Chain A
Amino acid sequence: MEIVEFESFWNIPYKHSAGKHASKFFHALKEKKILGVKCPKCNRVLVPPRAFCERCFVECNDWVELKDEGVVETLSVTYVKFTGLPDPPYAVGVVKLDGADTGFLAYLGGIDLKDWKKVHEKFKPGTRVKAVWKDRPEGKITDILYFKPVEL
């Protein structure tokens, strides 16, 4: 006996408030600036910025402008297409921006991604990278197109 199957699609709309802290971050992106917050207690500079420091359990309202340059901590190149996710290949990594105490999740790019070993060599942990911005930033996280290696 044939098993009956039904297709269903979830298309559920949401409108998420970024809140005061994230909103400030996004407005700064329009000026090609990356902002972090400094915890008044432990003095760590946190990016992405957040309303409170999870260690000290206090509000963070001291804003710090960070360089859009930093060091790669880790990376991965994706070669498979997943539904709803970007077309491969794309490289993502964690970048420790100069002045920040936490890493920033971002695309890595500016080079050929076909051979992952070459990408891993070019962007190996410790590599200095710099942000490549959209010409006309919109105040979205995608204003930072990717981080590319800083040629010495």
Chain B
Amino acid sequence: MKIGIIGIGLTDFRIHKEPFYNLAFEAAKKAVNDAGIDRGDIDSFVLGGYDNLGVGRTIANMYVAPAAGGYLRHEIRVADDAAFALPMACMRILAGLSDICIVVGFGTTSEIPLELVELQSLDPLFYRPTNLSIWAYYAIQKYAYSSKFGVDEERIAECVVRDRKNAKSNPYAFKREELKLDDVLNSEYSVYPLRKLETAANCDGAVALILAEGTIAKRLSDSVVWIKGFGWSNSNYYFEDFERLPATKFAAEMAMKKAKMDSIKAFENYEVMDLVSNHQLMILEALGLADWGKGYEIADSLNLNSSGGALSTNAYGTTGLFLLANAAIKLREGLFDSSLVHAMSGYARRSCVSLLGV
């Protein structure tokens, strides 16, 4: 059975002054219109995004379910970046329980103290008392990565330049001003050795995708974007392997295996959730596109982060789905024929990889 994306909806990604459920409504409504259907055609509503601390209220899906159009329908919420909700939606369709399913994600980074929120995910006994913020952890990763593999500062900082260059021509991205290598290298530090400009561009926004079972997708759309495969994985809670991203590796392997695809290098586009500069290279290596420490050698030869990546747009809770939507839009426009989209969460210890094609 094939699963296709037949509708895409996004709000602007910027700082909003609307509650998250209104953003979700906007994205869902856009997706429904884009697919040329009514909310009544959708039989299942799979929500993604964070809850309680991540959004400022408990059981956030109480508000998002009706906003997504799920009034008196089947709705479930995967509490993670919305990219992780895609497998749930796909599995429901594959099980024959759904024909048309909407996936909705939102992120309102501007309303939350992000670092304090993420800190509470560390256990109260051993890790939390160290006050290891996400940026501090990512900074440790940068340090471990660059010293273990001998990767220069400049190579890592180039990742920011790369993303911003792409964001400039992406109307959906948040931070779209190009940066020069010197701009990045001379900017102030966030947590040494990470510079502020090397960290994700926090903003708000919502994304909705309408998925349909293959035969129905073909009836409803002439420009279906097919979901060829997906995989997801966790990794050890206890910090190890600072210089690698094992969850990404396992997620990609699962996706390729389930899709029965051989070569991970065969994709014409890659969108990766680089929450900080060094992540971009680490993700390429974890995906298996380059040897450890050699990501910079291939980064420019790939069609990488045409969306601008997370370094240009990060709405905490839906960044992964944002990257996916961007890839899907470009696939529709014929800019490339296949895309691998990567997302991660939980101090980079969880990952979800989706494979798209036309």
Contacts and interface: CB of A to CB of B under 8 A. Distances in A.
- Direct contact, A vs B (beta carbon within 8 Å): yes
Interface string B1-43: 0000000000000001111001001000100100000110000
A14 to B, nearest CB: 4
Contact of A8 (B32, B53, B116, B124): B124
Task: Say what secondary structure dominates the interface of chain B.
Answer: loop
B17 A17 contact: yes
Contact of A57 (B16, B19, B39): B39
A12 interface: yes
Contacts of B125: 6
Given A13-B113, A14-B112, A57 B56 contact: no
B29 A12 contact: no
Contacts, number: 49
Interface string A1-31: 0000010101011111111111000000000
Contacts of A54: 66-67, 71
Contacts of B69: 57
Given A13-B113, A51-B25, A19 B124 contact: no
B136 to A, nearest CB: 18
Interface in B113-150: 113, 116-117, 120, 124-125
Given A6-B124, A57-B32, A12 B19 contact: no
Contacts of A22: 19
B111 A17 contact: yes
B32 A19 contact: no
Interface residues of A, number: 19
Nearest to A57: B39
A104 interface: no
A19 B204 CA distance: 13
A10 B128 CA distance: 12
A67 B120 CA distance: 45
A136 interface: no
B111 A51 contact: no
9 contacts: A6-B125, A8-B124, A12-B53, A12-B117, A15-B111, A52-B29, A52-B67, A54-B66, A54-B71
Interface of B: 16-19, 22, 25, 29, 32, 38-39, 53, 56, 66-67, 69, 71, 111-113, 116-117, 120, 124-125
The 6 closest A-B pairs by CB, nearest first: A54-B66, A19-B18, A14-B56, A54-B71, A57-B39, A17-B17
Interface of A: 6, 8, 10, 12-22, 51-52, 54-55, 57
Given A19-B18, A21-B22, 8 more contacts: A12-B113, A18-B19, A19-B22, A20-B18, A51-B18, A51-B25, A52-B67, A57-B38
